[in-house]
Amino acid sequence: MNVKRNDIILRPDPTRVFFRPFDLKDSGRIMRIVARVATLTDREAARECRNVLQHFANRHIDLEDYLLERFEEVREFLLTDHPLTRERRMLIGAYLTQEYALEAAALFNPSIVPHPDQSGLPEGSLRFVLSLRAVGEGHISSIAFRTGTIDAAGEITLNPPTRYVTAARAHPNPVYNKPLFERKLSELGLLHGFATSILSQLGEEFTWAELDALLTTTLRRNRSLGAEAASIAQGMRALARANYEICFRPDSRYSERVIFPYTDAESRGIEDARFVLFTDDDGTRTYYATYTAFDGNVILPQILETTDFLRFRISTLNGPEVRNKGLALFPRRINGHYAMLSRQDGENIYLMYSDMLHFWYEKQVLMRPTEPWEFVQLGNCGSPIETEAGWLVLTHAVGPMRRYVISAVLLDLEDPSLVIGRLRKPLLEPTENEREGYVPNVVYSCGGIVHAGKLILPYAMSDQCSGFATVDLDELLAALTEK
């Protein structure tokens, strides 16, 4: 197989920083810091504030607005209601803010989809969005983006990122659907007693404010409910917060946007987003991405959706078969059902169907490790790609010495449970230049794309950086279908 690597390599860039709260998790310490700033005269506070802006303003967009917002978040630690100057408020915000280099450690596990805007391109060209797993301080993973084009000959051009990075503003969902909320509470073992009573007082749709206020009031008025009710209330709030929305500035560039962990379930990272452009039966097109939320102990599969990469809705995936990593959604319904690839046992590839995007109850084995280079583990490398010959599924496999490779299989278009082609050797293996990194001997992808008669395969090198490979599609399909 003629696999062509190009010379584009995306490496971690520690200069790309954004601001986030410097969370000291100690109210007494925060109060002492605020009190120290209060000892400064107005002239001293103004001077120190100018000093901060001189060092940091040119590294960020809207830093002053963020510092003022950060001050409002800690206003409760002021000892008096005496009015403060704008400079002093910004200075207090600055003492409780930090810079974070989101991709200082790694930039890997890419996924590629068509860009929402295909206007103004030469004939035969495609504009794309590339998502990447960015890892920074504390080994926290987030989702970063790049854009580029593929021309009519299959040549790739990647747009250079700006130096700025902006984390989205996150908010709880505007409304929650009570039947869906009840179903998830039941799966969590929380739908009884106190939770049932709370839900009975809410409408079929309710807001975060309504839920939070009802929980707070009920616990305050009925202190005899005890620790169990408080624990259930905490679980209900956590579930609600795990379903949220984020929004970026409309004038921000794709490379400036980062989806950073927001909930407790994501506190240690958002890992390996597998993006897909999904076309529903009515022609509606939505970008979905399945990803793994990690809190340091437990992994939780989640899904996000967007139509424009400005506004994202993040939701929990539910059901007994929502387990482990590597869920990948098919780009359309199959015989009226949603379809998903999965890997519940960490070894085999499974196929799942569901009538509801957010609930998955049944699975069937699709592929087991068969070749020597996949005896340890099989998994997908992103959502299936529709071709005339069948569903092209890129796979990853783990062999001796925990060596990862990428291969491919072909599934029947109308019945994806039928494997009609399978490569007998890897499609992509780590070269000598690619095998050294944070996790050695690994090539990995979260999704490819077909354009100009070629498979365009973005892939990670040893969990550190990313590149591109291209394969002639006809040649690949011929190898998959040969007897």
The pLDDT tens digits for 61-109 are: 999 999 999 999 999 999 999 999 999 999 999 999 999 999 999 999 9
Structural domain that includes position 300: 3-12+261-481
pLDDT at 483 over 80: no
CA 101 – CA 106 distance, rounded (Å): 11
Residues 194 and 220 in one domain: yes
Q: Select from 57, 76, 101 the last residue of a domain.
A: 101
Same domain (yes/no): 266, 325 = yes
* Predicted confidence (pLDDT) at residue 358 exceeds the cutoff of 80: yes
| Residue 350 counted as domain residue | yes
- Specify whether 387 is located in the same domain as 445: yes
pLDDT digits (tens, 9 = 90+) for 307-353: 999 999 999 999 889 988 999 999 999 999 999 999 999 999 999 99
**Helix ranges restricted to H, 74-153:** 86-95
Instruction: Identify the domain boundary among 60, 81, 101.
Output: 101
Structural domain contains residue 274: yes
The answer as to whether 164 is a domain residue is no
Q: Residue 300 — very low, low, confident or very high, per pLDDT cuts 50/70/90?
A: confident
Q: Are residues 400 and 324 in the same domain?
A: yes
Position 113 in a domain: no
**What pLDDT digit, counting tens, does each position of 422-433 carry?**
999 999 999 999
User: Are residues 188 and 266 located together in one domain of the fold?
Assistant: no
Asked if residue 209 and residue 328 are part of one domain, the reply reads no
Q: Are 396 and 435 part of one and the same domain?
A: yes
CA distance 483 to 471: 21
Residue 246 is predicted with a pLDDT of 95
Q: Residue 270 falls within a domain, yes or no?
A: yes
CA–CA dist 339, 383 (Å, integer): 10
Same domain, 295 and 388: yes
Q: How many domains does the chain have?
A: 3
Comparing C-alpha atoms, which of 161, 172, 148, 171 is closest to residue 18?
161
- Tracing tokens 């839900």 back to the chain, one arrives at 199
242 to 45, 76, 413: CA distances (angstroms): 39, 26, 34
Sign of CA dihedral 188, 191, 192, 195: positive
pLDDT at residue 226 is higher than 90: no
Cα–Cα distances in Å, from 51 out to 62, 63, 96, 259? Answer: 16, 13, 16, 30
* Arithmetic mean of pLDDT, 242-267: 93
Q: Does residue 146 form part of some domain?
A: no
Q: What is the CATH number of the domain that holds 310?
A: 2.115.10.20
Q: Residue 127's Cα: distance from chain center in Å?
A: 21
H or E element that contains 44:
helix 42-56
Asked if pLDDT for residue 189 goes beyond 90, the answer is: no
User: How far from chain centre, in Å, is Cα 182?
Assistant: 25
Q: How confident is the model at residue 253 (pLDDT cuts 50, 70, 90)?
A: very high
pLDDT of the residue at 165: 94
Where residue 172 falls among pLDDT bands split at 50, 70, 90?
Answer: confident
Residue 123 maps to a domain: no
Q: Of all residues in the chain, what percent are helix, strand and coil, respectively (each to 5)?
A: 25, 35, 35
Same domain, 210 and 309: no
Q: HEC string of 191-239?
A: CCCHHHHHHHCCCCEECHHHHHHHHHHHHHHCHHHHHHHHHHHHHHHHH
Of 48, 70, 101, the position where a domain reaches its end is 101
Q: What pairing do the DSSP bridges indicate for beta strands 257-259 and 166-167?
A: parallel
Residues 317, 429: Cα–Cα separation, whole Å: 32
Residue 241 parent element (H or E): helix 226-241
Per-residue confidence (pLDDT) for residue 202, from 0 to 100: 96
pLDDT, the chain, mean:
95
Reported as type and span, the H/E element at residue 283 is none
Q: Which of 187-191, 279-283, 446-450 has the lowest mean pLDDT?
A: 187-191
**Same-domain check for residues 384 and 438:** yes
**Average pLDDT estimate for 246-265:** 93
**Do residue 75 and residue 183 come from a single domain?**
no
Answer whether residue 223 shows pLDDT above 90: no
| Residue 124 within any structural domain of the chain | no
pLDDT at 313: 95
Q: What is the reported pLDDT for 187? A: 85
% pLDDT > 90, the chain: 87
> pLDDT value at position 63?
95
What percentage of the chain reaches a pLDDT higher than 70?
100
> Residue 92: CA atoms inside 13 Å, Cβ hemisphere, count?
28
Given a cut of 80, whether residue 217 has pLDDT beyond it is yes
* pLDDT, mean of residues 177-186: 90
Whether 434 and 462 share a structural domain: yes
